[in-house]
Amino acid sequence: MSSKNKAERAASTLPELLEVLAAELAAEPDVRRWVLAFSGGLDSSLLLELCARLNLPQPLLAVHIDHQLQAVSRQWRDHCRDHCERLGVPIQIVPVNPASSSEASARSARYQAFEALLQPGDCLLMAQHADDQAETLLLRLLRGSGVAGLAAMPAGRALGEARLLRPLLSQPRARLEAAAAELGLAPVEDPTNVQDHYDRNWLRLHILPRLKQHWPSLLQRCKDTTALMSDADQLLQERAEEDLQHCRQASGGLCLSQLCQLSSARQRNLLHHWIMRQTGHRLSRQRLQNLQRSMLSTRSDASPEERFPGYHLRRYRDELHFVPDPLPVVASDSVVAVRVGQDLELPTGRLSWHRESAGLAEGTILELRYRQGGERLRPVGRGGSVALKQLLQESGLPPWLRPLQPILWSDGEIRAVPGICLCEPGLVEKGLVPHWHAFGLS
């Protein structure tokens, strides 16, 4: 290509990028404020310049996260401040302290800072591009990621109460470099970008250039693959939601007999989806297969457990339950005054009331207690008294929740076991019935 043609191509890059950016931002009509993640590098510097040229109707704030990991971090901070001052864009400098110098720790600290700063109606703009997306896809492929991982970085997603948008994700790095050269930008250079002991840098420095040389359409192929994986992930989630509606119990747990009717692949898909929703943890294929064997293949009277950070997955009778780890503890002699009809939040759950044909008189003061052992009660329709221990067993309440089950007393008698039964003394027509929403029911 002649130097003249190169110059003409570079001259056309900036208007093209401005048009792409304007279209991406216009697709987010509810944004109250744009917050731009500004490192001072080429990509974010160009994005800042483009946003400044668009004369956006919403306020624009640049945010520089100072990881304090480099000796020159103060110089980068000053460079970012000077750049924003030249453009008339306000900037906020946020120092963070990553747990280590690793990429993962820096990223975690950076996103925590963003989430703390962002407000409802904000949209965080990040300058990742098509080469970054290709690197992410290859890294996740080499790490054995599933469909969700191979969808790589989404162009937009929720971030706390705000939004995250990557408006240049479809653009190759070469196009951004051409526009930056046209504008005469002098971005900061992170010396760690040439240290190939980082996996991403090794791919960027040694592998991607050779792949692009052999397959000139590599970035487009990677873009197509991530789009296909994103579609596949959405379909798997939709299928999992359908199966969840079929298998979910009133308690929030999963019905094992219904789960076992699904194919093995659908079982894993549902378990992964359910666990992800409950805990935020993504499981490897091996962990899912192990969980399948332990929870679905053992004998019916077994009580297997699977531990996750902060949670237990437990099986009882025909259900799987998620419970916090550790479980809360209540004093057996604890007494709480309860007014019938008044909802109550407790560390172990929530007490609410519903009006039915027969129930407790509104406004009555009862005592909420927990099991001490040996209690008896006379449930409505039972035709006699029964031990509380037997009643809880018959109800199907999992053993780990029984010590936390509230009991409502008055005048030395049990008047109700919320969510399980009313007792014969003290019932009135059109009364209120207590319902118990235990924390530990998934």
Bind-site residues for ATP = 39-44
3-class secondary-structure state, position 251: coil
Helices H / strands E in the chain, number of each: 14, 21
| Nearest Cα residue to 87 out of 183, 11, 175 | 183
Instruction: Select from 382, 435, 384, 428 the least CA-distant residue to 405.
Output: 435
Residues 323 and 441: their CA atoms lie apart, in Å, by 7
Q: Strand (E) positions, 297-400? A: 305-308, 311-316, 319-324, 336-339, 344-346, 349-360, 365-369, 376-377, 386-387
Rounded to whole angstroms, what are the CA distances from 62 to 106, 133, 147, 213, 246? 19, 23, 34, 36, 47
* Distance, CA of 237 to CA of 211 (rounded, Å): 33
Instruction: Report how far residue 77's alpha carbon sits from residue 84's, in angstroms, rounded to the nearest whole number.
Output: 11
For residue 366 the two structure tokens come to: 């009862």
| Binding-site annotation, residues | 39-44
Report whether 110 contacts 65 (CB < 8 A).
yes
In the DSSP assignment, the letter for residue 361 is: P
Helix, strand or coil, per DSSP, at residue 442: coil
Q: d(Cα 151, Cα 146) in Å, to the nearest integer?
A: 9
d(CA 299, CA 62): 59
* CA dist., res. 233 & res. 344, Å (int): 40
- Torsion, Cα 91 97 100 105, to 10 degrees, reads -50
How many Å apart are CA 55 and CA 50, to the nearest integer? 9
